Structure 1
């Protein structure tokens, strides 16, 4: 059966064209990998295009969901192991005592028993801090911690620098937005509340910037509590 003419050798693409097409396809694949696949799947954005397109935040959300799923699975395994290790208490048959008939008291002897006062309910105190982290910073070294927060959520914080003051920058980012709440230089400690201006990551960047007369390591202690999802170490 006749379908089509067999092309001539001159009509077929040359080896040079095939090699050039292969190189172009490989280059396009690398560009898509760096600008689309890596920001969306692994929260890696070497070119910066993923954050402009909103794909980097998608990858960060996927990583966060994966971490939460792993933590839930680990908690369920611990609960199952704890239940398996408990012994079933033996059920003892109740002992029925024979009733002994007592003489009825005289009307003069009847005294209404005093009602016992109810015991006060124990107060349940919530822990002041949900997270506490310690990190040692060498001279010139920096670190960053972020809280995942919804818009309008309020978190409490307290941090102190042992061994010398630090420079800090309280800021937030997410959904293509960014904000700087407060900055300081040579501050030994601080505490207060942080209200999220929008849904995203909000926290602090610290750097050990001691002068030459006090060029030593410092230990930063950060405590957080309140309305937020999790505390993440970014750097």
Structure 2
């Protein structure tokens, strides 16, 4: 078989004029970048309260809560009684109210700092529009979404995530003790927030037993912004 060397082989197809090629490249690049950004946003919104999955499950699913509860136990996350707070504060504990800012302003535990785990829905992505519609079905005009800055805001308040005690509370508190309805305990926003903190490297996390509602029901002192 004879080999033939060709300096300028004939084209196998008719090329697009240069002006067509250069005109399309920026458009295609921009579209690809936009699609990638949209996919990243959609993926983060689907993966749980603040962009976290629990294994392959959503955090609010029964299977997700089971894995979350196991991780909380392994990380030695405690549910502390209100009577333990003075002792924890002496140890330098940071007390965080993770309820909405409005609830914090209406009343909170003395010395607590507000770091909302959820916030009013901010944008108009397809996921956020669907979430707004879901709330509207129940007659709720202002829905909420996860606070994407939760971890960074907590880090600004905690000197050493590996040693500083952090105590969280929402309205209900939460529990890791088996109940009649759930052998893994009671899942609450405090429990989900605690899970996110341990995933973010915090080593000394606790949840207040009974939360804010139990605190008020027992006629304990609160602070109110006027």
Asked whether the two chains share a fold, i.e. TM above 0.5, the reply is no
- With the length of structure 1 as denominator, give the TM-score of the two structures: 0.27
Rg larger in structure: 1
- With the length of structure 2 as denominator, give the TM-score of the two structures: 0.28
Where is the strand percentage greater, Structure 1 or Structure 2?
1
Where is the helix percentage greater, Structure 1 or Structure 2?
2
